[in-house]
């Protein structure tokens, strides 16, 4: 979305003597994360995680929580999506020709061959990990409730609000010729024309 990341974590203080640090960050996703399809950000997201030092790598584990508005895949009504997804990633420090300055721009995020995030300098960016976790947790089809009635295929009435009275034919109309053929045969076998 063009804005610099607000989820930078300084790991320069982590060592074998102090191997872990806790992070709690509340941020407005509208400024930095493109929402998944049919999602509208309505509140800040909260990231709670720990970063563990492991020599050349840093292990991040935690959760992302918050709320967003989604459209139901059946009835197209908006509903609140309660977000609470796990956050897990590995960052590996690599040598770079030019190191990041302390107040410089956000480091470029590169993914290594084993799926780890490669970093130079002493800052890791949690934004791509948060984005990935949100996309993976976002269901392709989301429903306002498990028993959503959807829309009437004839008039478009939201069936959660009440029945519309339209007559809906059962079955797929493209298979009507096959249905007639089976009814003529009686037991499903072709009629002998001899």
Q: What is the DSSP string of the chain?
A: --SPPS-EEE-TT--SSS-EEEEEEEE-GGGT-PPPTTEEE-S-EEEEEEEEEETTEEEEEEEEEEEEEEE-TTT--EEEEEEEEEEEEEEEE---SSPPPTTSPPPPPEE-TTSPEEE-TTEEE-HHHHHHHHHHHS-SS--SSTT---B-TTT--BTTS--------SS-GGGHHHHHHHHHHSSSSPPP--
pLDDT over threshold 60, residue 188: no
Write down the pLDDT at residue 194. Answer: 46
Q: Where are the domains of the chain?
A: 8-137
pLDDT tens readout for residues 35-69: 877 889 999 999 999 999 888 788 999 999 999 99
Mean pLDDT across the chain, nearest whole number? 82
Record the pTM: 0.71
pLDDT tens readout for residues 104-152: 554 556 777 777 787 777 888 889 899 889 988 888 899 999 999 999 9
pLDDT tens readout for residues 166-183: 887 777 778 888 888 888
Write down the pLDDT at residue 181. Answer: 84
Share of the chain above pLDDT 70, in %: 84
């Amino acid at each position: 979305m063009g804005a610099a990341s607000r989820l930078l974590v300084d790991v320069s203080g982590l060592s074998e003597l102090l191997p872990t640090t806790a992070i709690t960050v509340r941020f407005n996703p509208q400024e930095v994360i493109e929402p998944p399809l049919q999602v509208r950000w309505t509140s800040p997201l909260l990231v709670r995680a720990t970063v563990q030092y492991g020599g050349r790598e840093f292990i991040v584990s935690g959760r992302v929580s918050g709320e967003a508005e989604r459209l139901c895949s059946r009835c197209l009504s908006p509903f609140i999506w309660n977000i609470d997804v796990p956050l897990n990633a590995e960052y590996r420090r690599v040598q770079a020709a030019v190191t990041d300055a302390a107040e410089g721009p956000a480091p470029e995020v590169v993914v290594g061959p084993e799926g780890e995030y490669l970093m130079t300098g002493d800052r890791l960016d949690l934004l791509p990990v948060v984005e990935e976790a949100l996309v993976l947790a976002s269901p392709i089809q989301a429903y306002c409730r498990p028993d959503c009635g959807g829309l009437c295929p004839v008039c478009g009435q939201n069936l959660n609000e009440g029945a519309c009275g339209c007559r809906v034919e059962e079955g797929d109309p493209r298979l009507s010729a096959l249905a007639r053929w089976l009814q003529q045969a009686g037991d499903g076998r072709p009629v002998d024309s001899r």
